[in-house]
Structure 1
Amino acid sequence: MLKDLQTGIREKRTVKMVYKNTQGDIRYQQVDPYKMTDKKLYGYCHLRKQEKMFNIEDILSIQLTDENYDNHID
């Protein structure tokens, strides 16, 4: 999974992500990943239409898409 996130960041590819939010709800999201640390993923969330931070430990699965993105950061 981490390898797919690194590929998404390097190749600027959107990922489909299954994520458990802070309330324990499962969310299906599309994210344009920008940066990853040991514990956090930073990216643009298509659902919220804004930059978000995700806890890597709460990511249940990742699927790379064939969609490329331009940075949404000003």
Structure 2
Amino acid sequence: MQNILVRAIEQQQLVQIIYLDANQKITQRIVRPYEINEKHLKGFCFLRKQVRLFKLDDILAVSPLRQTNKRLG
């Protein structure tokens, strides 16, 4: 998973994540990742329309997105 996120940062690519939020609710997010460390992913969340920190332990799945929607880009 971290390899996909690192590659997305390097290539400035959007990713889709399945995330367990603070209320233990599973959410689907589209994120433009900026930074990653051993515990967190920092990126722009299109759902919340702001830069957010995501706990890596709470990311259940990640996949790169092709940027076909120009409004997201």
Distance 2:40 2:8 in 1: 15
Distance 1:65 1:24 in 2: 25
Distance 1:3 1:15 in 2: 12
The runs of 5 or more residues in structure 2 that have no matched partner are 69-73
Structure 1 residue ranges, 4+ long, deviating more than 6 angstroms after superposition? none
For each residue in 1:8-51, what CA deviation from the matched residue of structure 2 results, as whole angstroms up to 9, or x when unmatched? 10100000000001111000000000000100000000011100
Structure 2 letter corresponding to 1:18: I
Indicate the residue corresponding to 1:39 in structure 2.
Answer: 39
Indicate the residue corresponding to 2:71 in structure 1.
Answer: none
RMSD value over aligned CA atoms?
Answer: 1.2
The runs of 5 or more residues in structure 1 that have no matched partner are 69-74
Aligned residue pair count: 68
